[in-house]
Amino acid sequence: MPSNKQLHLDNRPEGEAKASNFKLVTTDTPALKDGEVLVRHHYLSLDPYMRGRMNDAKSYAQPQPLGQVMQGGTAGEVVESRNAKYAAGDKVVGFGGWQEYSVVAADQPGALRKVETTHVPLSHYLGAVGMPGVTAWYGLVNIIQAKAGQTIAVSAASGAVGSALGALAKARGCRAVGIAGGPDKCRYVTEELGFDACVDYKQHKDAGSLSKALKEACPDGIDGYFENVGGMVMDAVLLRMNAHGRIALCGMIAGYDGQPIPLTYPQLLLTNRLLLQGFIVSEHMEVWPEALKELGTLVATGKLRPRESVAQGLEASPESFLGMINGRNFCKQVVKLV
């Protein structure tokens, strides 16, 4: 069995996360037991939710344990199997964490899933045709309940979730408006992802100014909003929401460092009779097959053209992760190991 490089969470952040919170270790890979498979990871997924789990605080999931492999999605190849359902060479996605190999009890529900890579690249199963894509699908379909002709807005529009949200909204005949940081991201959102408009929040110092820009991009108001950020961005969007609008609350990256996130206009929730619902996509596994089918079709037919930021090698994971959290990277962030 091969030796295995791993990245552990060594200590918890005090305020902003740092590369020193992680520790690189090398371990021996245990021999396989009956029902297990050995997976060589080709790609690791880096996602914003991981920052929240680094804190030792009450949340929807248990904190990442110290001294253990940093948890996260993986895509790779079976290299050895003692499970009749899997053979060497199978391409699979799972939750193997920040390491080069994982030993997986493959019969456990949700532990491992075979994928085909003829029309969808393997890494996309960590993004557009994976958890981020299904997250966008659930928020748009089940919470926002988007209908043709409506205006749908999304923050962090150039990221993995936001880009999928735009493609899904356009497929339903909606006007898709993104909010992103910087001219390069905004051009990508409109020119490559096909959004109708994108507002650069970095050009605005306060919610009032950002809201005016949103009014130009959304002349008929906003019917549905997918929130990934919070803070000033959410304040600006609330000022533009139509009556009976719906908000899918997926992420609050503005508060991942543990600081409070004030809400300036909570009265608008009542004034406009808004529905705001937070959700965690792992609690809704029943929708995954339908969502993945639609997302896979959008990618295979070129209607969703996800771009990736690719870091090379396990050792690059901490800095790439911090870059994503701080907005230095855009698109789906993965780490290539093979």
pLDDT at 254: 82
Q: Quote the CA–CA distance of 52 and 60 in Å, as a whole number.
A: 10
Instruction: Please state the rounded mean pLDDT for residues 334-338.
Output: 96
Those residues with Cβ within 8 angstroms of residue 52's Cβ, 6 or more apart along the chain or in another chain: 59, 256
pLDDT per position as a tens digit, 123-155: 999 999 999 999 999 999 999 999 999 999 999
User: pTM score > 0.85 for this model?
Assistant: yes
| pLDDT above 80: residue 257 | no
Complete edge-to-edge strand list for the sheet that includes strand 175-180: 197-200, 175-180, 151-155, 222-227, 241-249, 275-278
Answer yes or no: is pLDDT of 171 > 90: yes
Domains defined along the chain, listed by start: 3-126+307-336 (3.90.180.10), 131-282 (3.40.50.720)
Going by pLDDT thresholds of 50, 70 and 90, the confidence category of residue 98 is very high
When pLDDT is cut at 50, 70 and 90, the band that residue 210 belongs to is very high
Of 231, 330, 335, 318, which is closest to residue 54 (Cα–Cα)? 318
pLDDT in tens, 3-61: 999 999 999 999 889 999 999 999 999 999 999 999 999 999 999 889 989 998 877 77
Beta strands of the chain (E only): which ranges?
A: 3-9, 22-28, 36-46, 74-81, 91-94, 101-105, 112-114, 151-155, 175-180, 197-200, 222-227, 241-249, 275-278, 308-312, 332-336
Instruction: Single out the residue of 332, 243, 252, 285 nearest to residue 137, CA to CA.
Output: 285
List CB contacts of 290: < 8 A, sequence separation 6 or more: none
Give the per-residue pLDDT at 260: 85
The pLDDT, as a whole number, for residue 95 is 95
pLDDT at 258: 72
Which of 78-87, 143-152, 173-182, 248-257 is predicted least confidently? 248-257
Q: Is residue 263's pLDDT more than 90?
A: yes
pLDDT value for 253: 84
Residue 59 tokens read as 């949340």
Average pLDDT over residues 205-212: 96
Q: Which long-range contacts (CB under 8 A, 24 or more apart) does 219-224 make?
A: 220/151, 220/175, 221/151, 221/245, 222/151, 222/152, 222/153, 222/177, 223/144, 223/146, 223/150, 223/151, 223/152, 224/140, 224/144, 224/145, 224/146, 224/150, 224/151, 224/152, 224/153, 224/174, 224/248
Segment 292-333, tens digit of pLDDT: 999 999 999 999 988 899 999 999 999 999 999 888 877 899
pLDDT at 85: 96
Average pLDDT, stretch 273-281? 96
Q: Is the pLDDT of residue 259 over 90?
A: no
Q: What is the mean pLDDT of the chain?
A: 94
- Over 90: is that where the pLDDT of 255 sits? no
